[in-house]
Structure 1
């Protein structure tokens, strides 16, 4: 079953929150191997989810952070917050 655009975006938001929170935790607990493992898993899933989203719906960000097909896609789809 294919995810809807809003479901895919929600998954990215959850993974970004997880990665940020783990990053902050690891700043004060750098020796916590379990947290490092979870952080690495979250970032792998985040990058995979972003790549899948952009392939299906277009770029999430611009200014050199996301590739675009031709014609320029940044303005041709709903903004991420409009989904």
Structure 2
């Protein structure tokens, strides 16, 4: 899949994933210093669930996001198909 052939939904979904993952990073840093904040833990768990759902949706439409066992491959091996999310 060439970069010019990517639909707008590719970028929209990737942006949602990046936003939720940013929330996870921020909450992780906060929880490192506030480990007893139940509301923050609930927010972290909700964002984690949402991140997994978004990534599953992305991979079902556009292919794998993570290597080394973080994502499955279709047949034939589809890791060679560019662009990868970090290239756009």
Relative to the length of structure 1, the TM-score reads 0.90
Structure 1: state its 5+ residue gaps. Answer: none
Match of 1:80 in 2: 85
Q: Larger relative CO (CA 8 A, sep 6+): 1 or 2?
A: 2
Match of 2:19 in 1: 14
CA distance in 2, matches of 1:57, 1:78: 10
Structure 2: state its 5+ residue gaps. Answer: 1-7
Q: How many residues align?
A: 81
Regions of 4+ moved over 3 Å = none
C-alpha RMSD of the superposition: 1.2
Match of 1:53 in 2: 58
Relative to the length of structure 2, the TM-score reads 0.85
